[in-house]
Amino acid sequence: MNLFADIRALVIDSLVTLTAEGVLPEGLDFANVAVEPPRDASHGDMATNAAMVLAKPAKANPRAIAEALSAKLAADDRITVAEVAGPGFLNMRLAPVVWQQVTAAALAQGTDFGKSDLGQGTKVNIEYVSANPTGPLHVGHTRGAVFGDALASLLAYSGYDVTREYYINDAGAQVDVLARSVYLRYLEANGKEVAFEDGTYPGDYLIPLGQALADIKGDSIVDAPESEWLEEIREFATDAMMHLIRQDLAMIGIEMDVFYSEKTLYGTGQIEGAITALEKQGLIYQGTLPPPKGKLPEDWEPREQTLFKSTDHGDDVDRPVKKSDGSWTYFAPDIAYHYTKIERGFDMLIDVFGADHGGYVKRMKAAVSALSAGEVPIDIKLTQLVKLFKNGEPFKMSKRAGTFVTMRDVIEQVGPDVTRFVMLTRKQDAPLDFDFAKVTEQSKDNPVFYVQYAHARVHSVLRKAVEAGINVDAVTLQAADLSGLTHEAEIDVAKKIAEWPRLVEIASRTNEPHRIAFYLYELASEFHGLWNRGNEETQLRFIQEGDDATSQSKIALASAVAVVISAGLGILGVNPVEEMR
RNA sequence: GCACCCAUAGCUCAGCUGGAUAGAGCGCUGCCCUCCGAAGGCAGAGGCCGCAGGUUCGAAUCCUGCUGGGUGCGCCA
């Protein structure tokens, strides 16, 4: 039940009626008519801009339209007041019964309250994490992982058919580096002195791999040339790394639907196929790119390459798909990979990249646009850096030195729930400060705690009610008579609950799961406020001694809050707690 | 040099794809526990929404140009 959609439907109906009656001219477009909560609560429960939007095309005074609309709306039972304000706003006040109905709907639908068919089964592919299989996930990956996963859940909740996908970069030079690094560890396990020079991964996490290899191989390839072991060790090492990465992901509750290997694009004609598809459109040519303006790289010299005319699809310069030696650039298999997404029948693509891939966005969009004839939209979300702090002291990570902070480190210290929530309390394109001390603090300074606390308080009430012999099982609460919930403080909580479906819709349309986190904070705030008013005004307490029926209605409201919090946390991938410890 | 992202209270950030007097938390000043958990709540002070133009009935939001910060810029992935 989306109250805002219901009221908007009522407004549109009224406008249609007014058109039929000749008050409004025929053929007006109502698409821009919005029904939203006014910023200032004193203006009422809902406001519509209908009169202002229609004034110009209807060639009429906005206030006059608003007056006419007001008369129609006031006839509906749900609306107690519909008054014209300002330049032509129509402010509506809704009857208490409306809020009681919303509360009942939330209880009846449980965590499905807020689900919609907005997506209409649209097949959407969300690619996220996609970290190189050269080591464990670090904090930077964590943000993209959490963001992508929450977005996937959000879209699924809104009726999209979601596929969570991870692209394994297991074919580039970086996996050769991995193989050589593992080989060094293997030599080490065989008692050799080795040096980790630039261009190798010195991290400790490869030591067990070297040992495992030594256990299998003994010293048989200690003196062998690279050509004899490279391929085998590469395979061995990337498999091991992907195993590690899956474990890391599992720690934070992420399970991918598809792991897509870059390697499988080679030797199967898929890269060639994708490039041919572009070629047929005349978008592939031999050419020489102009040098980057400004500071010229020392070793720059003009070279002829195979280029993709991405400028035809909104890019700034054309991009090479082949290096000057004729081998594919990284971009080529990426084009082929996205081509497979189109061919696999996805209607919509979302890529979640780290901010350092910002320069990649336009060419990827250009490729998808060209390959799908503009039919498949692609949204690319860049996640900004996570700055780590410990007691206010920042600490850095350096992959080269092998001293980066892993996702595992973070999860082990603060837990998956806190990590996920904190990383979602910021827009993904803004940098995030993550302070180990602060995120585990139990105070309202910490939004995770604050929201969890509200949920726990509801369950505390439920426990107390049971102790007091009040029946608060789900069926009883759903059947409770809520007509007594008329106090302003209670209505305010119900109003917040009513916003949930609308909020979900907005978050889905914008691909912005952080809105869920902020909403939950606001809902928790309303609930804490009501709770505390019970201190002074005892009639607002949830448990009314000797009056089970009243208690049940108030507890029903509290339970509705818990249901929505639970649904919201579910989208974020956070487990609601029933008790604080 | 070019492209993308960002700029909102002392600090950290929201702001519902253009709405009315721009909101939270922290910090600061007060107040509220005999009371379902005060791990909370209430109130107050605090703003040229980076600057300058433009579009509009109406702009923090859209457009243009600046300023300042981040990221990236052929033969890495």
**Separation of alpha carbons A206 and A372, rounded Å:** 41
Instruction: Indicate whether A325 pLDDT > 80.
Output: yes
Other C-beta atoms within 10 Å of A329: how many?
A: 17
pLDDT (mean) for A65-89: 89
Residue A185, CB, strand B, below 7 Å: no
Residue A545, CB, strand B, below 7 Å: no
Q: Could you write out the three-class secondary structure of A532-560? A: HHHHHCHHHCCCCCCCHHHHHHHHHHHHH
- Strand B: which residues 302-321 of A lie within 7 A (CB)? 302-303, 305, 316, 320
How, if at all, do strands A79-85 and A123-127 pair? unpaired
Residue A59, CB, strand B, below 7 Å: no
Residue A543, CB, strand B, below 7 Å: yes
Instruction: Indicate whether A13 pLDDT > 80.
Output: yes
pLDDT tens by residue, A274-318: 999 999 999 999 988 887 765 566 667 778 889 999 988 888 889
Residue A384 confidence class, pLDDT cut points 50, 70, 90 = confident
What's the CA–C1' distance between A429 and B53, in Å? Answer: 29
Residue A394, CB, strand B, below 7 Å: no
pLDDT tens by residue, A41-54: 778 889 998 988 88
Q: Look at residue A545 in the predicted model and tell me its pLDDT.
A: 86
Residue A457, CB, strand B, below 7 Å: yes
Q: Which nucleotide's C1' sits nearest to the alpha carbon of A47?
A: B19
Q: Which nucleotide's C1' sits nearest to the alpha carbon of A4?
A: B16
Query: Is residue A573 within 8 Å of A156, Cβ to Cβ?
Result: no
Instruction: Indicate whether A402 pLDDT > 60.
Output: no
What's the CA–C1' distance between A33 and B18, in Å? Answer: 13
Q: Look at residue A403 in the predicted model and tell me its pLDDT.
A: 53
What's the CA–C1' distance between A331 and B74, in Å? Answer: 12
Residue A52, CB, strand B, below 7 Å: yes
What's the CA–C1' distance between A426 and B13, in Å? Answer: 8
pLDDT (mean) for A179-200: 91
Give the lowest-confidence range in A89-93, A243-247, A356-360. A356-360
DSSP secondary structure string, A191-230? T------TTS---GGGHHHHHHHHHHHTTTTTT--HHHHH
Q: Is the dihedral of CA A226, A228, A230, A236 positive or negative?
A: negative
Query: Is residue A249 within 8 Å of A145, Cβ to Cβ?
Result: yes
A32 or A305, which is more confident? A305
A335 or A404, which is more confident? A335
Residue A542, CB, strand B, below 7 Å: yes
**Separation of alpha carbons A138 and A431, rounded Å:** 16
Residues in chain A: 581
What's the CA–C1' distance between A515 and B50, in Å? Answer: 26
User: What integer best gives the mean pLDDT of chain A?
Assistant: 90
In this structure, which amino acid lies at residue A575? N
Q: Which nucleotide's C1' sits nearest to the alpha carbon of A175?
A: B77
Nucleotide B41, nearest residue via CA and C1' = A532
Q: In what order do the strands lie in the sheet with A79-85?
A: A35-36, A46-48, A89-94, A79-85
What's the CA–C1' distance between A510 and B17, in Å? Answer: 8
Query: Is residue A469 within 8 Å of A543, Cβ to Cβ?
Result: no
Q: Look at residue A398 in the predicted model and tell me its pLDDT.
A: 47
Nucleotide B21, nearest residue via CA and C1' = A40
A107 closest CA partner among A460, A477, A466, A472: A477
pLDDT (mean) for A497-515: 93
pTM metric for this prediction? 0.94
Residue A361, CB, strand B, below 7 Å: yes
Q: Which nucleotide's C1' sits nearest to the alpha carbon of A43?
A: B20
Measured to protein CB atoms, the chain B nucleotides within 7 Å are: 1-6, 12-17, 19-27, 32, 35-42, 57-58, 70-77
**Residue located via tokens 């048989």:** A220
How, if at all, do strands A161-168 and A258-261 pair? parallel
Residue A404 confidence class, pLDDT cut points 50, 70, 90 = low
What's the CA–C1' distance between A370 and B65, in Å? Answer: 33
Query: Is residue A544 within 8 Å of A557, Cβ to Cβ?
Result: no
Residue A266, CB, strand B, below 7 Å: no
Other C-beta atoms within 10 Å of A473: how many?
A: 9
Residue A395 confidence class, pLDDT cut points 50, 70, 90 = low
pLDDT (mean) for A346-363: 90
Residue A325, CB, strand B, below 7 Å: yes
pLDDT (mean) for A170-193: 93
Residue A290, CB, strand B, below 7 Å: no
A350 closest CA partner among A506, A503, A510, A501: A510
Q: Look at residue A295 in the predicted model and tell me its pLDDT.
A: 57
- Strand B: which residues 80-99 of A lie within 7 A (CB)? 85-87, 89, 91
What's the CA–C1' distance between A1 and B47, in Å? Answer: 38
Q: Look at residue A401 in the predicted model and tell me its pLDDT.
A: 45
Residue A512, CB, strand B, below 7 Å: yes
Residue A531, CB, strand B, below 7 Å: yes
Contacts of A440 (CB under 8 A, 6+ apart): A413, A414, A418, A446
Residue A445, CB, strand B, below 7 Å: yes
Nucleotide B23, nearest residue via CA and C1' = A39
Residue A174, CB, strand B, below 7 Å: yes
Q: Look at residue A297 in the predicted model and tell me its pLDDT.
A: 61
